[in-house]
Amino acid sequence: MSQTVTPSDDLSAAAPPAEGAALANAPFDIAARVLHRDGMMLVIDKPPGLAVHKGPKGGETLADHLDALRFGLPNAPELAHRLDKDTSGCLVLGRHRKALADLGKAFADGTVGKTYMAVVRGVPGEPHGRIELKLAKRSPTRGWWMAVDPRGQEAITEWTMIAQGEGLAVLALSPLTGRTHQLRVHLDAIGHPILGDSIYGGASRLPGGPILHLHSRRAVIPQKKGRDPVDVRAPLPAHMRATLERAGFDPAALEALADAADFTPRAGAKPPAGRA
């Protein structure tokens, strides 16, 4: 069981100004963001603001940088799953066709352990919880916008509160299914939207507005032949560290609390690939 810490500061006033769209456009060394590398996979620390695929508005994406991650192989790695543009942290890539098939199956079966960290508005009334709300597309014209819908697909999220302040809290979360925007919609549905969420949380969409405070902290990927799982952790991005430090928190201590949260992959579940 993780311990919840409480600062003396008002966390609601702690959000720093956005680093802005420059996060996606500023040059960066993708190879320097590799957290794990073996013959099967790479795990990288994706920066916030960088889309993993080309969208209708164009712009720089992770795909523009994948060739720099070949590390001697003939082909660039490919995504084993997805993260939303504004979500940072652990992103798993397969280095060849068989690896992609094995990794894709592990994500689809729910055997990959995933821990996220989020700063949310309001303080939950309980120290931990489980959200089971089905999700469906909000409209046919915005297929990636999701909404709670009893006719939708199963979606399950577990969460543990690891810190609380005046008006905001820090949660460790595990999506047991992989629906698009699952964590963002689920947290908004229980009255605790993620800080900086301009789609579901009412944050400003103007330049200079707050950045989404959602981070893929940890990925635990099972291995075959009795080998230990690959256990990778991504450090909190600068904007989340700044928010927590301004509130009097120690980001490293909260990372440790998130890592200690007791989440279990749901073996046998077969959700489609989605974006948190």
- The residues annotated with a catalytic role in the active site are 84
Phi, psi dihedral angles at 149 (to 5 degrees): -150, 120
Distance CA 120, CA 228 (A): 34
CA atoms within 13 A on the CB side of 195: 27
Distance CA 55, CA 52 (A): 9
Distance CA 114, CA 172 (A): 10
Distance CA 254, CA 189 (A): 24
Distance CA 73, CA 55 (A): 28
Please give the C-alpha separations between residue 203 and each of 31, 35, 120, 161, in angstroms, as whole numbers. Answer: 32, 31, 12, 22
For 76, the 3-state DSSP assignment is coil
Token pair listed for 68 = 């720099």
For 163, the 3-state DSSP assignment is strand
DSSP 272: P
Please give the C-alpha separations between residue 10 and each of 124, 199, 244, 246, in angstroms, as whole numbers. Answer: 16, 24, 11, 9
Q: Please report, for the chain, how many H helices and E strands are present, in that order.
A: 5, 12
For 33, the 3-state DSSP assignment is helix
**Bridge partner residues of 146 (DSSP):** 137
